[in-house]
Amino acid sequence: MFSRMSVPYLHDSHSHFTLYAGMFKSVCLKEVRTKEEALDLFKKFEDGKLNSAYGWNSGFYSFEKAELDKFPPLIISNLSLHGFVMNEGAKKLLRPDFAEIIDNYENPDWCEEHVTELLLFFVQILPSTIETMQEFADFLLKECGVYEIEDMLLPTQEIFETIDKSELKNRVSFWADINTFRKLPDPTKKRIRGIKLFTDGANGSATAALSRPYKNGNKGVLTHTLAELVELLEEAGLTANGVAIHALGDIAAKQVVDAAEIVRKHGSSQFIRLEHAQFINLETAKRAKNLGIVLSMQPNFTEDSLIYADRLPEGFIERNNPFRILIDKAGFVPGKDMFFGSDGMPHGVKFALQQSLRPVFEGQRLTLSEFIAGYCVDEKLGSFEFDPAEIFG
């Protein structure tokens, strides 16, 4: 093994730049495996302000109401960004401006139906300035090797203008949820990548639309009917450069392909990108390939086969991130119609490369050349150097 290793900087095709920039100074729980350690971190929180933590894996531990109510106002977001908890202090502080969210956030079906509003809620309560965004971008480049990043949820026109006037203009690009997109001025609509839609939930909250129930009995959530999704795709085809569709479960992926097939028959050549596609099967993948659908996937989520083994249905931990099936049998080509991102879980070269080259199951493996083709910028823009022992041992 070489003493040093380098790969070109990353183009992260799926993250939430402004959201994570706002969370950057919050307590990170991604490496915290016990509740006792988390509660100890919370002791430093201040009264009179909203305190926050992110990256909590509900598969490791849960919080009792009485435990959290001992602390100043506190909100804790799930690792998947689908779901969060808060204490009474946070509810009291936030209720005047966010009463509907406070009343419904513990209902998983409501949360998946309003997922974009909830993500934008976090951007509002944890706002970032151009200074904090620049600081976060510097961290991503120097510590994580991320040069370019696609923000999947543009919060406002003002954020777009702020980035557009800064040094980040050529490193951060945006997608927008459809309600935000409709309000943007036409010049901005033409310059951003397109519209982001959701069709199901996530593994962390056991709400992805799978063909079998989760072990806890959850059947997952489809957020649109087929007719509704077709209507949204047709609108996107007339107004946006492209559409990116969150579809994590196999049922959700099939629904996207069904809808795409209908709009293609109507004459649409709309650019369609399928986000996550963690449990897509071979039949659906082949149909997607024939329709010209692009896959945007997360090698990082290979770890879901371990951290969510407590909730995924039998057989699904092996079906997660089926890269060899998608590349070898369905014919997707990294860098051409398959691209990679992190969703911020976590950002950077090291974890993504570890999960790609040393996955849980052989069918999840990517080669180094496939990783570079689907995840990296031109090497002329720079490379990230590291000690391979940090990720491979």
pLDDT given for residue 1 in this prediction: 46
- Both tokens of 385, joined, read 């150097």
pLDDT given for residue 224 in this prediction: 95
Answer yes or no: same fold for 25-125 and 130-392: no
User: H-helix or E-strand containing 11?
Assistant: strand 10-15
pLDDT tens, residue order, the chain (393 aa)? 457 899 999 999 999 999 999 999 899 998 899 999 999 999 999 898 999 999 998 888 999 999 999 999 999 998 888 789 999 999 999 999 999 999 999 988 888 888 889 989 999 999 989 999 999 999 999 999 999 999 999 999 999 999 999 999 999 999 999 999 999 999 999 999 999 999 999 998 899 999 999 999 998 989 999 999 999 999 999 999 999 999 999 999 999 999 999 999 999 999 999 999 999 999 999 999 999 999 999 999 999 999 999 999 999 999 999 999 999 999 999 999 999 999 999 999 999 999 999 999 999 999 999 999 999 999 999 999 999 988 887
> Strands 172-177, 146-151: parallel, antiparallel or unpaired by DSSP?
parallel
CA dihedral 84, 89, 90, 91 (to 10 degrees): 90
Task: Give domain 25-125's CATH number out of 3.90.1300.10, 2.40.50.100, 3.10.310.70, 3.90.550.10.
Answer: 3.10.310.70
Helices 226-239 & 250-265 angle (0-180, nearest 10): 60
Q: What is the pTM of this model?
A: 0.92
pLDDT given for residue 2 in this prediction: 54
Residue closest to 284 by CA, chosen among 309, 313, 261, 265: 261
Long-range Cβ contacts of 140-143 (<8 Å, 24+ apart): 140/347, 140/348, 141/9, 143/348
Distance CA 34, CA 203 (A): 20
- Both tokens of 138, joined, read 């510097």
Strands (E), 161-293: 172-177, 194-198, 243-247, 272-276
CATH number of 130-392: 3.20.20.140
Distance CA 2, CA 14 (A): 30
User: Domain limits of the chain?
Assistant: 25-125, 130-392
pLDDT given for residue 327 in this prediction: 98
CA atoms within 13 A on the CB side of 317: 15
Residue closest to 353 by CA, chosen among 391, 297, 382, 387: 391
Distance CA 213, CA 294 (A): 27
